[in-house]
Each structure stands twice: as C-alpha cells, then as structure tokens.
Structure 1
Amino acid sequence: MKYDSSVDINIAKAPTSKIDSVDFENLKFGHIFTDHMLVCDYEDGAWKTPEIKPYGPIQLDPSAKVFHYGQAVFEGMKAYRDDNDQIWLFRPDENFKRINKSSARLAIPEFPEEYFFTGLEELLKLEKDWIKKGFGNSLYIRPFVIATEPGVLASPGTKYKFMIICSPAKSYYTGEVRVQISERYSRAADGGVGAAKAAGNYAAQFYPTNLAKDAGFQQIIWTDANTHEFLEEAGTMNVFFRVNDTLLTAPTSDRILDGVTRKSIIALAEANNIPVEVRRVTVQEIVDAAKAGTLKEIFGAGTAAVINPIQGFGYKGEKYELPKLTDTYASFFKNKLMKIQYNLDKDQFGWRYLVKE
C-alpha cells in the first residue's frame, strides 16, 4: 500500500497515562479508552491538518446536524501485537475504502487516504503499550465521522469531524447464542443505506432486537424487506450457514454490508477447498435443512467477535437446535483468521499491515 506519508500531524501528548489503572484481564468490550484520539475537522470545503490530542469530551452546538439528521458513519478494526512485539493491522485498506463509501452514501466528504493512514499509525505508536501480547488480545479501533455544522435546515452539513478512538479488547465471548428469524422487521431496504456503516442502521435494530430478547433469543437474523423470504444478516454481523459441507452466505448488495471478515472467510474457504456458495438463501431451505438434520452450523462474522457460533434459531413459533459438533467450520475459520492477524501463520493473501515504529 502506497500513500503520502509526509503528512504533518499535530500531536499533543497526554500529560499522564491512565493505563496503570486498567485491569486488562477483565475488560468489558468498548468501555475503556486509551489516552489519545485523532481529530480532523472539515471546514470551507477542505479537511484541515489532523491532530492527535488527549482523549476527552468534544464540544458541539445543540443544533449540530448529526443530532438532527443523522449524518454519522463509522468503522471497526483492530491492532494486534505479535510475539516479536510487532504491531499489525488486518486489511485496513478495506476499512478505509468502506468508510469513504459509507460517507459518500450519506453526502459526507471523503477522508484523504494519507490522513487516514498517517494519523492512524501515529496514534498507534503513541498507544502501543495498550496493545497487549497474547492470542485474543487486541486494540479495537473506531474511526468515525459526524456532521458538526450548526443548524436545523434539512440539508447536508458543510462542517464535519473525523475522529479515531481506541479501546483495549480481549477475546469476545457472548456465551450460547440463539437467534430469531425475523418475520416482520428488516435491517435495510433496496435503495437504502444497508451497505453503509451508518449509525442510524444500528439504532433501528435495537427495538426489534429487544423484542427478540423478550422472546428468549439473543439476536435476530434479518430477512429481506420485500418478502421476508431471504436471510440477510445476523444482528450486526454477516451470517453463514453450513448445509452438509457447503457454506452458504448472502451476496452483498445495497442492503448488506460488505464485511471484511465475511470476504476473508470466503477467500479462506476457497483456498482450503471448502465449497462456498454466495447466493440468496431462503428461510425455507434453512428450516428444511434443520428438520432433515443437514444444517450443521450457523455463525456470524464480524470484527469484534471474528466468528460467533449460533446454537439454534426460532421461526414462526418453532425452535430448532443445531448439532453440537467437535470439528466445526466456525472454529476452523476463526483459528485461521486469528493466526494471520497475530502473525502466527503465513499470510498468503497479503492481508497483514505492519505498523512501522
């Protein structure tokens, strides 16, 4: 990856660090943040010089357009430390391209590549002590953009704030997960913003997810908005189904997020001669496979959990349990991915990105 690395970044270091007060063995995902953050403002038609400053509150006008018209997009990525104390990112070019794709869909100006990578690398150099060794330890990275222009006129903003904040993370485990296949609610519609990591997409999921939790499930598998016949995503993750030994997943579209973990699993499946079909998957074929005993696995795929196995699902008042296997695709892909991320295995795809100190 080539970009202009001569970009100036204004850096103001925190006078003290809070790292010694953090219990790294008992981290709750996304609750503790590092000492610094990257901030870059868009004004007068251009992105200004990025700054790294101590982590802390930001001040916004109550009429800032992000509050009223929802111009907000974000990304999720991680940094890993290997056994030789090198720090790695996993396919950050995909995150960069996707945040700009999301921005364009919400009429937000795209962020310069050299600002993104230079700012991110400088931030990670400052926060390197927060990235702990050990399989499963990582630093979760959250880039995001919000509209900051004051005013309640319904129009795109002319001022924006791009930021990156970081949060130390351990292995993500949520216990046994059972999902409800949605018969009414959808995550996104044709022509909508489902392919963008728009903040509003996630807000719209909370209410139907709460209904599923009230019914005894932990998450939802979303169905298409037109017919509710096709399976699309699981909660906030892409979803895979294993029928016999074939892996099935929905194609990306303007409804379905182009997940980095998703596309990595597909590439790994193809490289390891595991049959994979990227096509529309019907609710009925998965129900029929569950009844016939040919549905072996369902799992979600995303940055936070990498892969999250699903033990069962509910649909139209019926509940279906999946077999408990000892040799699963979910564990195979998770192990393969994490070994690449932690520089413990050959990276035949060129996915790893070394953060140079």
Structure 2
Amino acid sequence: MSAGHGDTDEAGMILSPVPVLAVPSPVGRPTPAVRASALRPIVVITLAALALLALSAISLVAGSKATSVSDVASALSGTGDDYLRSVVASRIPRTILGVLVGAALAVAGMLIQGITRNPLGDPGLLGITVGASAAIVTATAFFGFVGGASTVWIALPGALLTVFLVYAIGGRGTGGSVVPLILTGAVVAAVLGAYIQAMTLTRPEVFDSFRHWVIGALSGRGFDTIAAVAPVLIVGFILAAVLASGLNALALGDDVATALGVRVPLVRGGGILAAALLSAAATAAVGPIAFVGLAVPHIVRSLVGVDHRWQLPVSVLLGGSLLLFADVIGRVIARPEELMVGVVTAIVGAPFLLVAVRRGWVAR
C-alpha cells in the first residue's frame, strides 16, 4: 500500500520516509566575534600604514629650522631658495633611513624573541651592537679611521662576525635549548664591551671618534648609506617573511614543531641569520639604537596576537613609525639644536620597559 508520505507495510510502518529538508547548522559559520578578530590585523595594518605616511610627511617638515608645508612644497618643486632646498633635501634620506632602520630593528627583535622565547630579547642579545662598536673602535685605533660613509663597511662585518661567533659557540645547545646561545651572547658582549672600554679610555682620539657614533643618529646620513645597507636589509626581510610560518610552529615547542614537519634547526638558524642581517645593517647605518627591537614586538603582539605572519608587516610599519617619531621629537624639542635619536628612544623606551614589567608582559 502506498501513501502520500512514503511506503508502508500492512502494519502501517513507514519503510522509506521522504527526505526532509535539513536546517543549516550554525556549526562552522563564523560568529561576529570571530569575524571581528579576523579583520583586526587588517585594520591594524591599515592604521599603522597611515600613521607611517603621516609621520613621514611630518619628518619632511619638522626640524631644527622651522619650515612650513608650503616651504617644503616649494623646495620639492625646485622653486624655493637654495638653503631651504638643501635643508629639505637632507631630510629625505633621513626619513627613508629612519623607516628602514626602525623596521629592521623591530623585525629583528620579533625574530629573536620568537626564537629564544625570551620577552627581553633584542638585537643586543646576540652581541650585534657590541660587535659593530668593537669594529669601529678597532678601525679607529689601529687604522686611523675617522668616520664618514665608510662606517657602514666597518661596522657591518664586525656585527655579523660577532653573531656568527656567538652561534658557532652556543648554537648547538643540548636538546635544542637556546639557553647556551643566550649565555654565549652575554659572555661575548661582556668581553667585547671590556675591550671597547679599554680602548676608549686609553686612546683619546678613539673616544672622540667613537662617542659620536655610539649614541645613534639619523642626521648626516645620505643616500650612499641607504645604498650600502639596502641589499642586506632586503635579504633579511625576505628571509624573515619566508620563516614566519615556521616560527609559529616553533612557538609550540621543538617537539611539536618537529611533529608538524618543521625543520627546527633550519628555522632557528635562518631566523638568527635574518635577525643578524637586519640589526647589523641598521646598527652599521646609524649606530646603536636602543629599545626599538625590545618594545615594538610587545606592542605588535598586543595588537595582532602571536601569529608571526601578521606580526611581520605590523612590526615593519610600527618600527619605522616609532623611530621617525623619536627623530622628529629630537629635532624640535631642543631647537635650534637636536637630540640624537638614540637618546630619545632610550628616554621613551625605559618607561615602556617598566610598564611591561609592571603589567606582567615580561613574566608571560
């Protein structure tokens, strides 16, 4: 017997019920909170990019000599007086270099903190800063180096050689531990620091030349400095982008990362190489700059989370913005003189470190 709703037997039992349209399940459909979380990195990147553009424009206007937007526009169009054109022309490479150096230090700090799982990690952890300083001191003491554009070609090899020495000695920790690497970096930095102090205290000419470089400044650098460090920075940024996914797996622990198919020694070594290239080029270009590599990664993680694929572009934008902001403050706060950007970042960075400790960021 048949019925309109399906076949039945003599007892009236339904044998083959007609399929009923299923109601779509909410499982798998993103909630508004999930959608907002997914959009947050894009919003952060957009705002950070706008902030960087605004600060770049301000950097062309602000300086120890007060200039207006119309003055800068006239100088850029070639209609201003010669002195004004020279002032604005000197600010263009200074602004570009500030963006590159800030971005490089921020990404290097992100890489070092991710690899070592040390919230206090920065480029100085691997002896990069002190290695560049030792090279400058040695060149001044024994070869009569007095500064200039060739500073890059002296500081950069010194920084890279120091990193390779640290990694060769402490990079093969037991069970993949990074503790030997950190301790080796501290020891090498202490030894080179003692060497620098001895040379600067016993040789006045070394001290006079070294003290201008060791503070860190963007002033006096031109396009020749940018051209010297740009290839190294490009390689470092590309390597950091390639390793971003591997760093996410590395954050779960070496065993989990290995189980996921990640070659842990390759990712760790590549990350250290990228951090070394970025921070060494930045230090060689403008001298040691404190706190950018330490502070920016904490800010970035608070904005976009722990995914290194999002941390990388935000670190580039915020690192450049922070260094440009510090440089602009240094230009206008003591007119007609200037404060070197290394001094300003130290003044701004020290309170940030205290806040980070107070709020428990370092403990986490």
Bin the TM-score by the shorter chain.
Answer: under 0.3
Structure of larger gyration radius: 2
Q: Name whichever structure is richer in helix by fraction.
A: 2
Q: Name whichever structure is richer in strand by fraction.
A: 1
Give TM-score scaled by structure 1 length.
Answer: 0.25
Give TM-score scaled by structure 2 length.
Answer: 0.25
More relative contact order in 1 or in 2 (CA 8 Å, sep 6+)?
A: 2
